[in-house]
Every structure is written in structure tokens, then in C-alpha cells.
Amino acid sequence: MLRPGVVPNAVLRHPHRSELLSALAMAADAGEPLPEALLRLATSDSIIAAWAHRMVVPLREGADLWQVLIALGLVTTREAHGVSALSTADGLRALADGLLDPVPGERRIRYLPATCFLAAVWPAMLVVIIISVTTDNHFERTYRELQLSLPAITEFVINVTRHPLLAIAAPPVIALALAWLWSLLARINGTQWITLGFFPSIHRERAALSLLWSTLQRTDPAPSTVDWALGALGLSSHRHQRPAWVQHYQQWRRLSGNAPARIPSGDDPAQQCARVCAQAGLVDIDDRGPDWLAAVHRQRHAYALQVARFVPLVDGLMVAQAMASIGIFTVFPFFLPLVRFGCGCCSNAVGW
């Protein structure tokens, strides 16, 4: 039995999720009852058969399809809400196509300070610990026996190697904290433009994509605790009395080099959003109305192209930082005392 309200962790998705959602979308398009459609498809598809028998009973009992998918861990609550304004078939198709998924590489660029910190620190810490373990702290014992005055960087590395688990775990934790602080700057009025100054073309295309995403939702998502607290303090860059798409639209207009258009008040928010998207050229409207899925597909492709432009640059920067930090944290701590000791011996020999 399905337990209402229980949402399993769906971070690790089932490898056949897209195939199952696509099959459900085709069944919903055909107007066939989903339990019967699942049983019919299960006779010829072993992948669907593995899930069909877990879904048929609750569906026949009147359970909502989205709640069934959430309870089985195939869809998250955020994803179900993200396509709530679409028909069941279109919503399933959108999730099967990954329209709400992050674009590969975007998080490395969006949270650049955290990316740079992790690349500059973590590989070096791993190499330092490996050297200390494989040499059984030979360098430290030698320096202590010679009674050398160690540089600060050597003392730091020695202290780090005494707590290897902490040294390995600390950089990712600090990087996550930096990413959270960076995202916090993007939510505060007056500081959000600091984050938008890095790769503005990416932020422009993402703002347009977020604007189109908002058209797929029946209602705005509830503000998070952080957003609520910033709003209560008057620091939030988003006015809670406005629909969320207004901020995305104004951000896109500014990053596109145009002054933000004045949005008429008093209209239905969904109609307003459709109008501004049409004026911006983000969606095509014909006799059947706006084709939101085609618009999201097109804008997601444009966003992915912008991300792909800068991913090699960021990856190259990460590699350069990692190599430089490994050199700094291995050459200087482990060999600088030997160089100083050798120089001291040569000076004494010359003086004698």
C-alpha cells in the first residue's frame, strides 16, 4: 500500500524512469485507462512489467497518478509541481525528456567560488595525506631529529596530516557553505548583481528558461525559509506579492541590454506571463495557443549552448588550480626545510 505523504529519496533515479514515463504519456494521450494500459504494455515489456503491478492496484483504488509516482520514487514533489499546469500526458513527457533537470556543467559555473575553492584545496589535501601515509611521516620525523625550524606551511601540513578524515571532509563542507552563501547573495536585493556579473550570458538564458518553467506550474512554489526570512527583513530581491516569473522576466530584460518593461497590473498572472513571453519572442502562439513545451525545449537548448561555451574554461581553471595547489602544498612543505638546511650547511662550510 502507498502511504500518503511519504516521498522517497529520488536523487538516484531508476535507469528506466524515462522509458516508463514515456509509456505512461502515450497511454494518457490515447485516453486509455492507465491500469489497463500498464497491464497491456507489461505483457511485451519486462521493464514496464516490473513497475506495472506496483502501480495498478493504487490506481484502481483511485490514487492520483502523480502521488503514485512520488511514492515509488520515480518523480519528486518538486517535479510534479513543476509540470502541474500541463496535461498529464504533457507533464509526463516533459519529465521523461528531462526538461526540469540541470544542464550538465551548470552548477560548476553557477557556484564558481565554491568550485574554485574545492579545486584549489581538495586535491592538494588528498595528495598531502597520501604522501604522509605512504612515507609513514618520514619527513616530519627527519625534521624533528635534525631540530630544524620549520616554515609555517610545513607546520600546517603536518597538523593537517594528523587528522586525515577531517582534512578530507572539511573542503567539501566548506565548498557547500560557500555555494549556499553565493546563492544567498543572489537572493538579496542589491547584491544579486555580484553573482550575475560572472558569465552574464549564462544567467540571461537561465532567466529566460526559468520564466518559461514558471508557465508549466499552476501556482508559484511556496517560499523557502531563507526567502521568507529575507522577505521579512526587507532584503529579498523578490517581492512575495508578485508572481515569481516577474523577477525572471526583469532579470532577463536587464541582462539582454533592455530596460525592464512595465508589466500591466490587474490581469490574470498566467495571461500576463503568456503575453510577456510572446513579446520577448520566447514562445510561439498559433490558433491553438502558446506551445510551452516547444518553447522550453528551444530555450533549454539555448541555455545548454551557453553553458557548453564556458565549461572548458572553468574546467581548465579547475585543473590549473589543482596542479598549482598540489605543487605548493607538496614542494614547499616537504622540501623547503631540506633546502634551508642545505643552504645553512653550505654557509657554515664557507665560513669555516
Q: Rounded to the nearest 5 degrees, what angle is found at the Cα of 202, between the Cα atoms of 259 and 271?
A: 55
How much is the pLDDT for 351?
Answer: 44
pLDDT at 305 (0 to 100): 95
Residues contacting 113, CB < 8 A, separation 6+: 178, 179, 182
Beta carbons within 8 Å of 260's beta carbon, 6+ residues apart: 249, 250, 253, 254
Q: How confident is the model at residue 10 (pLDDT cuts 50, 70, 90)?
A: very low
Region for 31 from its dihedrals, namely left if φ exceeds 0, alpha if ψ lies in -120 to 50, beta otherwise: left
Can you tell me the distance from the alpha carbon of 338 to that of 319, in angstroms, rounded to the nearest whole number?
A: 28
* Cβ neighbours, 10 Å, residue 244: 21
- On average, the pLDDT of the chain sits at 80
Residues 17-41 pLDDT 10s: 888 888 888 888 888 888 888 888 8
To which residue does cell 513527457 refer?
Answer: 93
More confident residue, 64 or 219: 64
Q: pTM of the prediction?
A: 0.81
Q: How many Å apart are CA 270 and CA 219, to the nearest integer? A: 10
Give CA 292 to chain center in angstroms.
23
Question: What's the confidence (pLDDT) of residue 302?
Answer: 94
Mean pLDDT across 300-322? 94
Point out the least confidently predicted range of 151-165, 220-234, 322-336: 220-234
**CB environment 192-205: b (16+ within 10 A), e (fewer):** bbebbeebeebbbb
Give yes or no for a contact between 296 and 216, defined as CB atoms under 8 angstroms apart.
Answer: yes
- Among candidates 339, 81, 61, which has minimal Cα distance to 221? 81
Range in 43-57, 84-98, 175-189, 291-305 with the lowest mean pLDDT: 43-57
**What integer pLDDT is reported at residue 230 of this predicted model?**
73
pLDDT bracket for residue 5 (50, 70, 90): very low
Q: Give the pLDDT of residue 130.
A: 85
Q: Which residues pair with 289 in a beta bridge?
A: 286
Beta strands in 137-237 (DSSP E): none
Helix%, strand%, coil% for the chain, nearest 5: 70, 0, 30
Residue 309 has pLDDT above 60, yes or no: yes
Please report where in the chains the cell 574554461 appears, as a residue: 313
User: Of all residues in the chain, what percent carry a pLDDT higher than 90?
Assistant: 24
Residues 6+ apart with CB under 8 A from 194: 185
pLDDT of residue 9: 39
Q: Which of 308, 276, 310, 309 is nearest to 295 (CA)?
A: 276
Task: Specify the DSSP class assigned to residue 186.
Answer: T
Q: Which range (147-156, 169-178, 287-296) has the least confidence? A: 147-156
Q: Which of 212, 240, 216, 236 minimizes the C-alpha distance to 226? A: 236
Euclidean distance between CA atoms 314 and 78, whole angstroms: 29
DSSP code, position 251: H
Range in 110-114, 272-276, 347-351 with the lowest mean pLDDT: 347-351
Distance CA 171, CA 206 (A): 28
> Is the pLDDT higher at 14 or at 303?
303
The DSSP bridge pattern shows strands 285-286 and 289-290 to be antiparallel
Average pLDDT over residues 167-186: 92
The pLDDT, as a whole number, for residue 219 is: 79
User: How far is 283 from 275, CA to CA, in rounded Å?
Assistant: 9
In the predicted model, is pLDDT for residue 296 greater than 50? yes
C-alpha cell at 2: 502507498
The answer to whether residue 321 scores a pLDDT higher than 90 is yes
Is 69's pLDDT higher than 80? yes
Contact (Cβ atoms closer than 8 angstroms) between residue 119 and residue 178: no
| Mean pLDDT to the nearest integer, 58-85 | 89
The Cα 94–Cα 297 span in angstroms is: 9
* Per-residue pLDDT, 339: 56
Given a cut of 80, whether residue 344 has pLDDT beyond it is no
Q: Give the pLDDT confidence score for residue 266 in this predicted structure.
A: 56
CB 146 within 8 A of CB 218: no
What is the reported pLDDT for 323?
92
Question: What SS3 class is residue 243?
Answer: coil
Q: What is the pLDDT of residues 172-181, one digit of tens each?
A: 999 999 999 9
Beta strands in 220-339 (DSSP E): 285-286, 289-290
